[in-house]
Amino acid sequence: MVSHARASYPNECCGAMLGTTDGENKIVVESMALENAFEGAKAARYELRPEDLLAADKAARERNMDLIGIYHSHPDCDAYFSKTDLQNSCPWYSFVVLSIQKGEFHHANSWLPNFDQTEAAKEELSY
Ligand SMILES: [Zn+2]
């Protein structure tokens, strides 16, 4: 995820996180790079194609895993969860945001949107 985010700089990258759930903990086993399909300036926004997400979900199930979340990068920006991120989120996925500063990985946060997609709680992230 970090190397994908660095390679995509100064654009935002996005991808799927495949893994398992152990009680309260979600464990990312594999990440899958997906194309940022946003038609405008990719430095400030990302968009996932629904068919790419479906393919990631299928790939996860074929490997006895689940699609547990989505990651994307924020070039030269903090790893916060923006209003657009919230609007484009799904309450059942974890959203990892990677902050890439001047092309290098800086920090990451994980966010869990509520069901109304009005706010996202910060999750504990260990890596
Ligand atoms: Zn974002």
pLDDT digits (tens, 9 = 90+) for 12-51: 999 999 999 999 899 999 999 999 999 999 999 999 999 9
Q: Please tell me the distance between residue 36's alpha carbon and the centre of ligand 1 in angstroms.
A: 12
Q: Please tell me the distance between residue 20's alpha carbon and the centre of ligand 1 in angstroms.
A: 24
Q: Please tell me the distance between residue 16's alpha carbon and the centre of ligand 1 in angstroms.
A: 14
The one-character DSSP state at 90 is: -
Q: Please tell me the distance between residue 127's alpha carbon and the centre of ligand 1 in angstroms.
A: 20
pLDDT for the residue numbered 28: 98
For residue 13, give the nearest of 52, 43, 40 by alpha carbon: 43
Q: Please tell me the distance between residue 50's alpha carbon and the centre of ligand 1 in angstroms.
A: 17
- Whether CATH 3.40.140.10 fits 2-107: yes
- Dmax over CA atoms of the chain, in Å, equals 39
Model pTM? 0.96
For residue 108, give the nearest of 121, 95, 92 by alpha carbon: 95
